[in-house]
Each structure stands twice: as C-alpha cells, then as structure tokens.
Amino acid sequence: MYNTRVRGILIKGDKTYSEVTRDVLRPMDAPMPKWWYITAFIAISAMIWGVWGFYNTITTGIGTWGLNNNVAWGWAIINFVWWIGIGHAGTAFSIFLLILRQKWRTSINRAAEAMTIFAVMAAGLFPLIHMGRIWDGFFIFPYWNTRGPLWDNFNSPLFWDVVAISTYFTASFTFWYIGMIPDFATIRETTVSKMKKKIYGIMAFGWIGNAKSWLRFETAALLLGGLAAPLVVSVHSIVSMDFAVSVIPGWHTTIFPPYFVIGAIFSGFGMVLTLMIVLRKLYKFNDYVTDGHLDAITRILTFISLIMGSAYLIELFTAWYSGNEYELFTFMKNRVTGEYTFAYWTMLICNAIIPQFFWFKKIRKNITIVFIISLFINLGMWFERYVIVVTSLSRDFLPATWATYSPTWTEMAVFSGTLGLFVFGVIAFFRWVPTIAISEVKSVLKETTTLKSFTDED
Amino acid sequence: MKTNILGVYDDENDVMHAIDKLQEGGIKVKDVFSPFPLHHIWDKLNLTTRLPFATFIYGAVGGIATFALLYWTSVINYPLKFGGKPLNTLSFIIIMFVLTILIGTVFTALTFFIRQKLYPGKEATLPDVRTVDDKFVIVIEKDEDMDSAELTKIKSVLIETGAVEINESDVDYEA
C-alpha cells in the first residue's frame, strides 16, 4: 500500500546511509559562512525598515499609504496575494507529490515547506496591518461579544480568508514539523556539541524510530498530507473570491478561482526553483538536488505556464464575448493598450512567454538561465497581482471617480520588511534545520540507484 | 529488568530476510529499529494503527460542530440578513470545509503525539543510537527461561542472515 516504484536515479554518487547523514548535516556544523552574515545583515536591515513602515501605518493610519477612495487596495493586497501564492509551493510540492507518490520530491520538499511557512507568515502581516486598528483585530473571530452578540458575517470572503490562511499555516507547519522529528533525532544522536544535543533533543520529542513509531509516523504524514491537499486548491480559491464576488470589471469572473490556484502553484514552483538553485550552489548538494530534479521542476513550470497563458487569453475572450462595455474597457483599453500596458505585458511575457523557453533542452540544462527565468516568473507573478488589483480599481464605472495609485515609502518599507523576513527565515532554515529530509532521502536511496536517471534517458 | 538481543544490520533487505527466517524458526521478533520507515515490516510484525479511523472521527465531528456553530449564530442566536441572502446559506460550506480540515489536522497531530508519547524534551533511550544514522536493529527479547541452545539458535540465524554485530542491551525503551 505504501510502496511505489521510482523512475530513475534520485540521489547521485552511490551514497551510503551514513554519508547522507553527514552530507546533509555538514553545513550545520561548519563555521558560519561569510555569505550568511552578509545576507542576514541585508535581511535584518530590510526588516528594520519594515518595522518603521509598520509603526508608521499603525500610529498614523492607512493614510500613510497611497490608497484613495477608488484604489482602496494597493500594495498590501498585491503583496499579500503574491506571498500566499509563493506559499503554495511547499504544500503543492510535498503534499501533491506525496499523494501522487512522486519520490523525486524527497530532496526538495523540506525546503519547499520551509519556504511555505515563511511566505505565509509574510503574507499574513498584510491583512493584519490593513485593518488599521490592529488592536481590534480580534473582532474577526466569532466570540461571545457585548454587541448583541453580533457574530461575524460568515458569508464574507474576507472572513473565509482569515479562516483559510490560519488553517493553511497551521496545517503546513504541523506537517513540516512532524516530518522533521526523525531528523532532529538524528542530529541529537550524531552531534558532538552538548548544546546542540540538548536543543535538538528537545525538538526531537524523544523520537526513537522503532517499527511502531514509523508506522504511526507514515500514517500521520499521509493523513495530514491528505487533509492539507485540498487546501492547496481552497486557499487560493478563497483568496480569488475576495475579488471575484465583487462587481468590479476585471474581477467579476468565474475563471478566478482556478486561475488563482494555478497562478499560485506557478509562482510557488518558480520560487522553489530559485531557492533550490541557491541552496544547491551554496551547499554543493548537486548529488541530492540533481540536474534531473531541476529539470523536472522546469518541465512542470512549462506546463503551468501554458495554462497561465490560456487563462490570460480566456480572460480577454470572455471580456469580448460578454459584450459588457466595462469589461471590454478594462481589458482592451486599460490593460492591453492603455495606461497599464507596461504592467500587463510584463505579466504576460514573464508568465506565459519566457517560461516557454524551457521547451529547449539546452536552456533547461543551463542552470544560470534557469535561475534567471525563475526570477522572471517571480516578477511576472507580482505584476499579475498588480494588474488585477490596480487596473480594475483605478478605472471603474464612473470616469469622474477615476484615480491613480502609486505606493508611498511606507508601503515599500512594509513590503521590503516582509522580503527581509522571508529571506531571514530561509537562511535561518539553511543554517539550523536539515535542509534535506534525511530519513526520506534514505528511504529512496537504495531502490533508485540501480535504475537509469530520467535525464540521461533523453 | 529485561534484556534484549540486538541483531545489527547494514542493509534493509537483509533485515527483511532475517525477520522471515527468525519467524520461520519460531523466534519472536519484538521490534525493529531503522533510520527510515521499512514498509514491509509492519505486515511481518502484525502492526496496525487506528489513526486513520481517529482522523475520520475528528473530521466528521469537526464538520458537524462547525455547521452547528454557523447555524446557531446566524439563524438562532442573532439572525441578521446580509445582502438579502437566506440565513442558512449554502456558502456555509466553505467555512465547514476549511474548519473540518483544521480540526482534523490539529487532532490527528495531537493523537499522533499522545499515542506515540512524544513531547518536547522527552528523554530518548535507544538500544543502539546508530539506528538513527545507518544501522538497522532487530530486537529479540531474551526470556529468562531461554536455554543456551535457543540463544545459540537465535544468534546463528542472525549471523546467517547477515548481521554485522550481535549485542545485548538492557535499555528499557517504550515501544
């Protein structure tokens, strides 16, 4: 029931189990590298600037942002959706591929899940400060209040969002942590440092790894994975409904939920690709994150990029076919040819056209180009959210109310703060957590090394 | 205090083979320690878990409880119309769907920790610490009424099937 065949070499270099342990734990014992300090310095500086942005927003109010009556949602929502999208990678990666029994996930899923955790943390900050009066934030929870009791509007997508995001964070974190317990036990038993033994001993929860505990562990992982898998679809569907249930032209479409989910998985995989290339370069993990792994991700991205391209075309078609002049205006005048041409075409080119270069094997093999394309995907997905939020709001039904939007320093500070938080989280993960799931890699080590690699085949 | 005989192996296929041999010889395999899950062992040792059943119950109860909360708050306790929609609406499904997952996840994880007796800072006592790295250990309980012939038999089967070491351990771990 739990066993599947694999299709090629996943781990190169004929490793022994012990070598896997040493290789993955080596960077954690090595002296702190220079790049770590430099990155940490930049990330913390960005976070400090972000704290200033937060302080400014909370003490003065949302007026410090570039929002106006029409464009009531700006960078905060753009960045919120962008981060949530990136946060879909971990679950999409480890849980979808776990359910689909794709064993090549084993060397990447830990990092993808870590990325999810930090991305969702970054995302969650935006709705929090967008409330303005953050100290009244608890109003969103259904509790026995003194106003009637007046309960929440359970039919509001914004309330669904709160529930969905907090569930997503809890589920991802639980899945991630339980997956790490055996690896913490490995550190506990193999480290020479007393301090590490103590700390990882606490985090390992007394794991011993006998037959029964592995049975429960595998069952729990499969159950939690199975429970979280629908979240990949539901979270971003709900985020899309924040837009789709309104009547704003460009938002009021039924394609939004699938289009958002696919976009989220697209940006998530894009960020996974970016990070895995960095991780593999820094830690020389080429035997674990092989060219075959990166190749598999680029192939998935090519496919998803095609879906993104069709979604963009369908949006245009529906705008025309609906015969609704506001829709037509938003898409044809405003986005394709009008004021927001730059943002629209950046989105289209980065998401639907540039990843198509992955059709060429030469490009898939050139890691530098793959890395650059992955950055374009991250950029393109940011512009997608910008196009959705700003173009529709700034030019709605009444030309008299048209307004333009540009972010203020406070908004930029908040965004850079979340970027700093994410980067710091990732490098902390690189340093203090085994970046590759040791026990999972060991479980696929033997059965794969006798077969041919799937990149050597073609 | 119970003493266990530990057969230490380098390869998981040898472990599978050894368990078959031991069981054929009527020797009871008490436990197996491994650095990663060995899927066929659970059948061989007749180990089962009711965790999926528990998860189903949590999900079912969670879903119903969520509906109860939504219905009670929106229809009974404070019926307030939003946008002309009925009080008991189909869109409750979204919250029910998500909270079913949340409740299922949280309680499944808690059940896993409680049943497995895992908690932060628990002292781990391993019969052989190398099992978290690269060794596989078959544990056989040494009964007081085992005679030396039986012990020799166990050891010979372990050696035949490729055990690299045979040790004895007094470590009392919680199975």
pLDDT of residue A454: 44
Helix (H) or strand (E) holding A116: helix A109-130
Hey, is the C-beta of A151 within 8 angstroms of any chain B C-beta? yes
Structure tokens at A229: 């898998």
**For residue B121, what is the nearest residue in chain A, using CA coordinates?**
A202
Q: Which of A208-212, A246-250, B122-126 has the lowest mean pLDDT?
A: B122-126
pLDDT category at B175 given cuts 50, 70, 90 is low
Hey, is the C-beta of B90 within 8 angstroms of any chain A C-beta? no
Chain A interface, mutation test: which of B32, B112, B128, B139, most A Cβ atoms within 10 Å? B112
pLDDT of residue B9: 85
Asked if A452 and A7 count as a contact pair (C-beta separation under 8 A), the reply is no
Q: How many cross-chain Cβ pairs, A to B, lie less than 8 Å apart?
A: 200
| B73/A142 Cβ within 8 A | yes
Hey, is the C-beta of B77 within 8 angstroms of any chain A C-beta? yes
How far apart are the CA of B64 and the nearest CA of chain A, in angstroms?
16
Closest to A220 (Cβ–Cβ): which among B51, B117, B122?
A: B51
Hey, is the C-beta of A13 within 8 angstroms of any chain B C-beta? no
| A171/B101 Cβ within 8 A | yes
Chain B interface, mutation test: which of A101, A214, A217, A441, most B Cβ atoms within 10 Å? A214
pLDDT of residue A18: 83
How far apart are the CA of A205 and the nearest CA of chain B, in angstroms?
4
How far apart are the CA of A89 and the nearest CA of chain B, in angstroms?
19
| A220/B109 Cβ within 8 A | yes
Chain A interface, mutation test: which of B6, B10, B94, B137, most A Cβ atoms within 10 Å? B94
Hey, is the C-beta of A223 within 8 angstroms of any chain B C-beta? yes
In CATH, the number for domain B3-48+124-169 is: 3.30.70.120
How far apart are the CA of B139 and the nearest CA of chain A, in angstroms?
10
Distance CA A8, CA A292 (A): 9
pLDDT single digits (tens) A159-206: 898 899 999 999 999 999 999 999 999 988 888 888 888 899 899 888
How far apart are the CA of B6 and the nearest CA of chain A, in angstroms?
13
pLDDT single digits (tens) A95-109: 777 777 777 788 888
Hey, is the C-beta of A367 within 8 angstroms of any chain B C-beta? no
**For residue B136, what is the nearest residue in chain A, using CA coordinates?**
A210
| Start-end of H helices in A191-255 | 194-203, 211-244
Chain B interface, mutation test: which of A154, A178, A238, A436, most B Cβ atoms within 10 Å? A154
Cα B154-B155-B161 angle, rounded to 5 deg: 95
Amino acid in the structure at residue A418: T
- Using a CB-CB cut-off of 8 Å, the residues of chain A touching B125 are 208
Three-class SS of residue B121? Answer: coil
Whether residue A27 has pLDDT greater than 90 = no
Whether residue A152 has pLDDT greater than 50 = yes
- Using alpha carbons, select from A448, A328, A314, A334 the residue that is nearest to residue A387: A334
Computed over every residue of chain A, the mean pLDDT equals 86
Write the CA distances from B10 to A106, A161, A283, B33, B59, integer angstroms: 22, 50, 28, 12, 41
Chain A interface, mutation test: which of B32, B55, B80, B105, most A Cβ atoms within 10 Å? B105
Q: Which of A365-374, A404-413, A438-447 has the lowest mean pLDDT?
A: A438-447
Hey, is the C-beta of B132 within 8 angstroms of any chain A C-beta? yes
| A223/B55 Cβ within 8 A | yes
pLDDT category at A455 given cuts 50, 70, 90 is very low
Hey, is the C-beta of B32 within 8 angstroms of any chain A C-beta? yes
Closest to A223 (Cβ–Cβ): which among B108, B115, B175?
A: B108
Closest to B91 (Cβ–Cβ): which among A149, A155, A443?
A: A155
Closest to B49 (Cβ–Cβ): which among A203, A205, A219?
A: A219
Which residues, 6 or more positions from B169, have their beta carbon under 8 angstroms from its beta carbon? Answer: B3, B4, B6, B127, B128
pLDDT of residue A8: 60
pLDDT category at A375 given cuts 50, 70, 90 is very high
Distance CA A10, CA A27 (A): 21
**Between A419 and B123, residue with greater pLDDT:** A419
How far apart are the CA of B90 and the nearest CA of chain A, in angstroms?
9
pLDDT single digits (tens) A239-263: 999 899 888 888 888 899 999 999 9
| B91/A186 Cβ within 8 A | no
Predicted TM-score (pTM) of the model is 0.90
Whether residue A451 has pLDDT greater than 70 = no
Hey, is the C-beta of A215 within 8 angstroms of any chain B C-beta? yes
Asked if B9 and B138 count as a contact pair (C-beta separation under 8 A), the reply is yes
pLDDT single digits (tens) A335-350: 888 888 899 999 999 9
**For residue B115, what is the nearest residue in chain A, using CA coordinates?**
A216
Domain limits, CATH 3.30.70.120, in chain B? 3-48+124-169
How many residues can be counted in chain A?
458
Whether residue A379 has pLDDT greater than 50 = yes
Whether residue A2 has pLDDT greater than 70 = no
| B133/A21 Cβ within 8 A | yes
The complex scores an ipTM of 0.92
Burial class (CB in 10 A: 0-12, 13-18, 19+), A42: middle
> For A313-332, what is the mean pLDDT?
89
In this prediction, what percent of chain A has a pLDDT beyond 70? Answer: 95
Cα A14-A89-A304 angle, rounded to 5 deg: 95
Hey, is the C-beta of A34 within 8 angstroms of any chain B C-beta? no
| B104/A201 Cβ within 8 A | no
Chain B interface, mutation test: which of A223, A245, A448, most B Cβ atoms within 10 Å? A223
pLDDT single digits (tens) B158-171: 888 887 888 887 77
pLDDT category at A55 given cuts 50, 70, 90 is very high
Hey, is the C-beta of B99 within 8 angstroms of any chain A C-beta? yes
- Using a CB-CB cut-off of 8 Å, the residues of chain B touching A220 are 51, 108-109, 112
Whether residue B106 has pLDDT greater than 70 = yes
pLDDT category at A7 given cuts 50, 70, 90 is low
pLDDT single digits (tens) A66-96: 888 888 888 989 999 999 999 887 777 777 7
| A212/B106 Cβ within 8 A | no
What pairing do the DSSP bridges indicate for beta strands B31-33 and B136-142?
A: antiparallel
Q: What are phi and psi of B168, to 5 degrees?
A: -120, 145
